[in-house]
Amino acid sequence: MVAMISGFSLYGWLLDLGRGLLRWFIGWWSVLFVGAKLMVLAFSPSSYKRDSRSLVLREMYYAAGPGLPGFTILMALFNVVVIRILVVTAFSYGLTQYALDAVVRVLVLELVPLAAALYVAVEYTIPGGSELYKRRRNGHFDALRVQGVDPLNQEVLPRVLAGIFAVVLLAVISCSISLVLAYVAVHGFTVAGLSSYNHAVGQIFNPVVSLIFSMKTLLFAISVSLLPVGNALRDLPRRASRTSVELQGLVQMFVLMLIIEIASLIGNYY
């Protein structure tokens, strides 16, 4: 009797594990499928007619415009704190020559792209994904198809492009601020150290590191823009809520961003 109960428990555990793996595979497959269709639309000239261009520009403003001043101020304050900690620590251990290297590698290469991607995800892409899920459940996509309009081109593609644009824009602005503040922290308000600073930063951003940094930022942008949309377009159970859609997209986003970060660390330091 005990053996039968144990066998049924093992069978139930294996069955639940198989179902979970199947849901995981279907979830990622649906995201990849949606991403492939959006890639085709993104490179199609018909997707950028006058009405479509206005939609894309509007979403770009919504994704980057309202939060740009606040994000810039927060990143500047964050940079001042982190740079001060790194510089003082390097000076206290007699590693003055490595202070700038540590600041650029920690802030510009690692923290700034991650912060920009997470900010856009929280402020724009995850709420946008839940809004798309709500519209799809309410029949808005079916109404567009009846009118002869492709929902992917009308509703989805502008949001994805806007999310990618917002992450890249915020990352570029934040990296510029970090480099300026790093120079001020190390050399002060003078142009005397500009030549050595440019030389040091140029040595850090060699072609391989620059390529990895650019690819990581772009992949972060694609991840935070595509995953919420992919989950919003999935055929989830009827009892699924907007919160569950957001949580699934957030979990997938963190997993993919962790994989991208590990790959970039391996490329930069191994």
Encoding tokens for residue 237? 């159970």
Q: What span, in angstroms and rounded, lies between the C-alpha atoms of 234 and 224?
A: 17
Report domain extents, the chain: 26-269
Interatomic CA distance for residues 263 and 28, integer angstroms: 19
Tens of pLDDT, residue by residue over 105-135, are 888 888 889 999 999 998 898 888 888 888 8
Q: What is the pLDDT of residue 201?
A: 86
Residues above pLDDT 70, as percent of the chain: 88
Per-residue 3-state assignment (H helix, E strand, C coil) for 37-94 = HHHHHHCCHHHHCHHHHHHHHHHHHHHHCCCHHHHHHHHHHHHHHHHHHHHHHHHHCC
pLDDT digits over 227-269, tens only? 888 877 776 555 454 556 667 767 778 888 999 999 998 888 7
Give 5-56 pLDDT, tens digit per residue: 555 566 666 777 777 677 777 767 777 888 888 888 888 877 777 777 888 8
Q: Crossing angle for the helix pair 157-187 and 68-92, nearest 10 degrees? A: 40
pLDDT at 3 over 70: no
Confidence of residue 2 (pLDDT cuts 50, 70, 90): very low
**Would you say residue 4 has pLDDT above 60?**
no
DSSP H helix total and E strand total for the chain: 12, 0
